Amino acid sequence: QSVLTQPPSVSAAPGQKVTISCSGSSSNIGSNYVSWYQHLPGTAPKLLIYDNNKRPSGIPDRFSDSKSGTSATLGITGLQTGDEADYYCGTWDSSLGAWVFGGGTRLTVL
């Protein structure tokens, strides 16, 4: 059971927009920055978004995030087949003294 809660899967058609939710608590999302990662098994996970909608170099602005209270949301616009992957939210949990991740959301681009 993950500390952060994500939907197991989402899907949308190419060119469409999708959102992935991440729900936590006051000790994690409520008091720390959230980051989002993209992962294809067999490859290195990739940082997509961090510290209130900042993107590392090379990450397109099709990826964005928002936060409200103890929940965060990743948005992906202009979906491409290459976006099919597992997506994870992550943050520091001040009560646990640990990094925590969501259970992951599998994105399918139909």
Q: Could you give the string, one character per residue 70-89, with x where binding to another protein holds by CB under 8 A and - elsewhere? A: ----------------x-x-
Binding track, positions 91-110, relative to another protein; x by CB under 8 A: -x---xxxxxxxxx------
Contact between 47 and another protein by CB under 8 A: the answer reads yes
Q: What residue type is 98 in one-letter code?
A: A
Of 11-19, 28-36, 65-73, 74-82: span binding another protein (CB under 8 A): 28-36
Cβ proximity to another protein, 15 vs 99, nearer residue: 99
Paired tokens of 48: 């997509």
Question: What CA–CA distance (Å, rounded) separates 48 from 65?
Answer: 10
Q: Which stretch binds another protein (CB under 8 A): 12-20, 43-51, 58-66, 74-82?
A: 43-51
Q: Based on the shown chain and the rule CB under 8 A, indicate whether residue 64 belongs to the binding site for another protein.
A: no
Query: What does the alpha-carbon distance between residue 4 and residue 15 come to, in Å, rounded to a whole number?
Result: 28
d(CA 19, CA 37) in angstroms, rounded, equals 14
Dihedral angle over CA of 100, 39, 71, 97, nearest 10: 10
| Site membership for another protein, residue 43 (CB under 8 A) | yes
The distance from CA 22 to its chain's CA centroid, rounded to whole angstroms, is 7
